[in-house]
Chain A
């Protein structure tokens, strides 16, 4: 489904990585590993189509993602290391607007349910600026519950989360894989996910 061949990334005059190959099938998880500054985030942004690889090709269902455009965006959910929550909007507004932007318009009860699941019940109408880092992360991750896409691209989804939330997210990821979804993620934590195929991609 998702394939990368001979990928390279250059930032300024520094080559972050080159010759990276991988392929991800339905129900598979790809964990991108590497020390700080090794290009994990650059790799994920490339996979999203936000930036172009210096060389190589990324393809989705056999077609280059560059030529797919919005068809590709319909099938991915990207949660970057910036959580994308607006300080001046309330928690529920943040979730509803960010999912509408990803093409999934949800009703208020649906949004409430997702937030309840993420442990943010009762905080729906607080402005996001009063939330802690971990809670912001939860708001961003709540999008995974409402946006039903095949491929999730997650940049450090477990950062700033407490032990309970880590468990919750791991459960969510497991469920997504069981439903034949695909996940590409970076994390420094050990992940404890029962999945048929976990591929690890080590960057320098």
Chain B
């Protein structure tokens, strides 16, 4: 059942590739424009790289949040999901996971290539990728709450940013911080531990919160 949902959402994403590519291109373009506009000062680029990549990943992930539930809402599938004998939290977890596979994973894979433009050393690229790997699922999971709360509202897109951005900030700080700490010679382990803790906490809490929000939004 959990697998059915993931399989279904991946299938839908495969049939509608433009949605996936929009997110990825947005990420690539934002990250690539910075070195072009700031100029080739290696030191400055290296300092700003983690922040720029993380902010771009965050915005790209948010860009596609609106679609997480709204299509299912409009064609009546969401009603069916609410009436499913399976737990709704599990279903939401499946949808958030599918969202991450479709939007988060491509960003993680692209990040080391884009990082080269900022003259990041190999180990910093490695830390950046791992920090995104730990952090982007949190973005999808927290985003699911926002998407569920603003379902069916007019201007939901703006509202979702307002709701979700404050919750994204800790992930952003520790994600970008891990790379900074690594480059300045401090260890990155503490940052990774915190990102891992965020991931575990959001895995447990956000499907439950999003499921409750969906029930309220659908009433």
Interface residues, chain A, with chain B CB atoms under 8 Å away: 48-52, 70-71, 73-74, 76, 78, 80-89, 93, 97-98, 100-103, 105, 127
Contact of B75 among A71, A78, A85, A93 (CB under 8 A): A85
B-side interface mostly? helix
Distance A124 CA – B112 CA, assembled complex (angstroms): 43
Chain A residue contacts of B12, Cβ below 8 A = 86, 88-89
Using known A-B contacts A93-B11, A97-B8, determine if residue A73 contacts B77 with beta carbons closer than 8 Å. Answer: no
Asked if B110 lies at the interface with its beta carbon under 8 angstroms from chain A, I say no
Chain A residue contacts of B16, Cβ below 8 A = 88
Which partner residue on chain A sits nearest B81 by CB separation?
A: A101
* 18 further interface pairs, Cβ-Cβ under 8 Å (given A81-B76, A101-B84, A103-B86): A48-B83, A73-B84, A78-B79, A78-B83, A80-B76, A82-B74, A84-B80, A86-B8, A87-B75, A88-B15, A98-B80, A100-B1, A100-B4, A101-B1, A101-B4, A101-B80, A102-B85, A103-B1
Chain A residue contacts of B86, Cβ below 8 A = 70, 101, 103
Chain B residue contacts of A97, Cβ below 8 A = 4, 8
Contact of B76 among A70, A82, A100 (CB under 8 A): A82
Contact of B85 among A48, A89, A103, A105 (CB under 8 A): A103
A-B contact pairs, 18 of them (CB 8 A): A51-B218, A78-B79, A78-B80, A78-B83, A80-B76, A82-B74, A84-B77, A84-B80, A86-B12, A87-B75, A88-B15, A89-B8, A89-B11, A89-B12, A98-B77, A101-B4, A101-B5, A101-B80
Distance A71 CA – B180 CA, assembled complex (angstroms): 52
Chain A residue contacts of B5, Cβ below 8 A = 101
Chain B residue contacts of A84, Cβ below 8 A = 75-77, 79-80
Using known A-B contacts A51-B219, A85-B75, A87-B75, determine if residue A70 contacts B87 with beta carbons closer than 8 Å. Answer: yes
Asked if B63 lies at the interface with its beta carbon under 8 angstroms from chain A, I say no
Distance A50 CA – B83 CA, assembled complex (angstroms): 8
B64 to chain A, nearest CB (A): 16
A-side interface mostly? loop
Which partner residue on chain A sits nearest B87 by CB separation?
A: A70
Which partner residue on chain A sits nearest B84 by CB separation?
A: A101
Q: Name which of B5, B83, B87, B219 has the most chain A CB atoms within 10 A of its CB.
A: B83
Q: Which B67-111 residues have a C-beta within 8 angstroms of A? A: 74-77, 79-87
Distance A85 CA – B74 CA, assembled complex (angstroms): 10
Q: Is the CB of A83 within 8 A of B76?
A: yes
Contact of B84 among A81, A82, A103, A105 (CB under 8 A): A103
Distance A196 CA – B168 CA, assembled complex (angstroms): 59
Chain B residue contacts of A76, Cβ below 8 A = 83
The 8 A CB mask of B7-29 against A (1 = contact, 0 = none) is: 01001100110000000000000
Which partner residue on chain A sits nearest B73 by CB separation?
A: A82
Chain A residue contacts of B74, Cβ below 8 A = 82
Q: Name which of B80, B82, B86 has the most chain A CB atoms within 10 A of its CB.
A: B80
Chain A residue contacts of B218, Cβ below 8 A = 50-51
Contact of A86 among B1, B75, B84 (CB under 8 A): B75
Which partner residue on chain A sits nearest B5 by CB separation?
A: A101
A79 to chain B, nearest CB (A): 9
B17 to chain A, nearest CB (A): 11
Chain B residue contacts of A83, Cβ below 8 A = 75-76
Q: Is the CB of A74 within 8 A of B85?
A: yes
